[in-house]
Structure 1
Amino acid sequence: MDLTGSVALITGGTRGIGLAIAHTLHAHGARLLLTGRSEPSGRAALGQLDGGPDIAFHRSDATVRAEAEDAVDETVRRYGRLDVLVNNVGGASGFATVADTTDDLWRATLALNLDSALLTTRRALAHLLPQRSGRIVNIASVEGRDPDPGLSAYAAAKHALIGFTRVLAKEVGPHGVTANCVCPGPVETDWFTEQGPRAAAVLGTDYPGLVRHFTGRTATGRLTRPDEVAAAVLLLASGPGAGITGACLPVDGGMTG
């Protein structure tokens, strides 16, 4: 799964799952542009990756059309091409039952998880379709396959992202471009530990109870690791993954089978 010569854009690539994906793709030869909304986080990520001119950070909010499009254009300006797009931006911007879900929570969650993928993908296709090659990998979630209470907006967004990916795969497949989802189970990143207590409260438990809830649904008895998600992305981004498109690859320790 050699990516030497390839260029990848990873949205939300400065921490957590995105940073793990960056580590893995770069270790297999890809040049990278990482995006995020925080300049300090971007600088910290570059320091951890230590990739010299082969890894760059571009501050971008993927929910804003002009900034999402500029991130794609900056990738091509810097490296001369784009081969792999990883739409990793996402997350739950709040937790509530359906009865308590506000309009703002609903819209913000869909913008973060779904609109961002559309905005970046649409611009990327302007480069991928003419070259008749490319890989698009969207980071969905186990919640897009088997959702939990209190996550209606997030689950709806991830279900929609899976549907978006399947349609995209059928549209771009004849042009040499693949489109797939990776659906991680709960991953104990810094974001998870920060937001977990809020999600736990909606479920009527505490953070350790939330972890037990998730691990109890797995076959492995543990949470998913970021590097395991990154390994799936590597496969889908590589030459050996060319025959996989329109798929939703679960990396969830057996939560959804």
Structure 2
Amino acid sequence: MDMGLNGKIAIVTGATANIGRAITLGLAAEGAAIVAVGRDEAAGARLVALCLERGATRATFIAADLTDPAAPAQILTAAGGPVAVLVNNVGGNVGAGFFAESDPATWAGDIDINLGTVLRMTHAALPGMIAAKAGAIVNIGSTAGIVGDYMLPVYSAAKAAVHGFTKVLAKEVGQHGVRVNCVAPYGTVSTDPDAFSAGSRFNRDHGFFSTAFAGTGAEDMARRARQTVLGRPVATADEVASLAIYLASDKASFITGQVYPVDGGSLL
């Protein structure tokens, strides 16, 4: 299916791992001009080669930390033209546990990586989209922002803020021909062993999950789980990416301000 993305500049943040990588490769297959943003330069080089192999008009990797306020301007300069698609994929959590026992010093980290990065990158890209009277922004939220993930209180709150920002921004910029939507996955894991760059929490050398939930009892771990109705616990990265690519495309030209769960029916 022709998504109308051929030759259009598409920025994807957090592009070297998991969902971001799947979205980037999917946009490349549609002939987009890819601007992939991440921190792992070796993974970025491999990603650029794959993008070109799959049909990208061109592909560029930008090594940047989105928590750096200067990063968005650097990325827009490197894009080298009007940005048609922005996928705000960067996110994650710095730890896990009960809010009553949390260290207030850690809250800002969760808020900034999930919400602050979206605000800054969007703020940088919007003027060009408004001037062009066209553009699609796709934010990656989470079902945690809809129902709350047990033992992830600040992360859940930050993702809920991303959902709210999606809706209000859609109201503001629709008059300029810019659409804003959000995809809210539940527990996504890539099936590609090469999809876990050095900066990814899912990289086996990262040790995030074993550290974050160290000492958590079986009862609390059970409370963290949600049942799906499709016979498997999580989506693949490609399943999430397919919706993000559709929302970024001309095929979704009358869709804006929406938050779409990709959750296997877990919210039922």
- TM-score normalized by the length of structure 2: 0.87
Partner of 1:195: 208
Match of 2:238 in 1: 227
Establish whether residue 73 from structure 1 lines up as the match of residue 77 from structure 2.
Answer: yes
- CA distance 1:221–1:198, change in 2 (3 Å): farther
1:86 aligned residue:
87
Q: Tell me the equivalent position of 1:63.
A: 67
State the secondary structure of the residue aligned to 1:70: helix
CA distance in 1, matches of 2:176, 2:151: 40
Aligned length: 250
| Residue identity (%) | 38
**1:140·1:161 contact (CA, 8 Å) conserved in 2?**
yes
The whole-number CA distance in structure 2 between the counterparts of 1:218 and 1:198 is 26
SS of the residue corresponding to residue 147 of structure 2 reads: coil
Unaligned runs of 5+ in 1: none
Post-superposition offset of 1:126? 1.3
**Corresponding letter in the other structure for 1:17:** I
* SS of residue matched to 1:56: strand
| Counterpart mapping for 1:123-202 below 5 A | 123-189=124-190, 190=196, 191-192=201-202, 194-201=207-214
* Cα distance in 1 between the residues matched to 2:189 and 2:213: 14
Q: CA deviation at 1:74?
A: 1.5
In the other structure, the counterpart of 1:217 is 227
Computed over aligned residues only, the root mean square deviation of the Cα atoms, in angstroms, reads: 2.1
Q: Which residue does 2:48 correspond to in 1?
A: 46
Q: Distance in 2 between matches of 1:107 and 1:42?
A: 27
What is the alpha-carbon distance in structure 2 between the residues aligned to residue 246 and residue 202 of structure 1? 40
C-alpha distance in 1 between matches for 2:267 and 2:14: 25
Contact 1:15 1:45 in 2 (8 A): no
Q: Secondary structure at the match of 1:172?
A: helix
**Counterpart residue number, 1:29:** 31
Tell whether the 8 Å contact from 2:82 to 2:132 is kept in structure 1 after alignment: no
Structure 1 residue 168 displacement after superposition? 0.4
Say whether residues 1:13 and 2:15 are aligned partners: yes
C-alpha displacement of 1:203? 5.0
Q: Structure 2 residue aligned with 1:204, among 208, 217, 229?
A: 217
1:111 maps to 2:112: yes
Does 1:246 find its partner at 2:257? yes
Map Cα deviations across residues 57-76 of structure 1 (whole Å, 9 max, x no partner). 0011111111122112211x
Greater fraction helix: 1
Shift of 1:200: 4.4
**Which one of 243, 248, 260 corresponds to residue 237 of structure 1?**
248
The residue identity in structure 2 corresponding to 1:20 is: A
TM-aligned CA deviation for residue 157 of structure 1: 0.6
* 8 Å Cα contact 1:72/1:120 also seen in 2: no
Could you tell me which runs of 5 or more consecutive residues in structure 2 were left unpaired when the two chains were aligned: 191-195
- Aligned partner of 2:78: which letter? E
- State the TM-score, normalized to the length of structure 1: 0.90
CA distance in 2 between partners of 1:144 and 1:12 (Å): 19
The alpha-carbon distance between structure 1 residues 199 and 217, as it changes in their structure 2 partners (threshold 3 A), is: farther
Q: Deviations over 1:211-232 (max 9, x none)?
A: x964x51111321100011100
Per the TM alignment, residue 188 of structure 1 is displaced from its structure 2 partner at its CA by 2.1
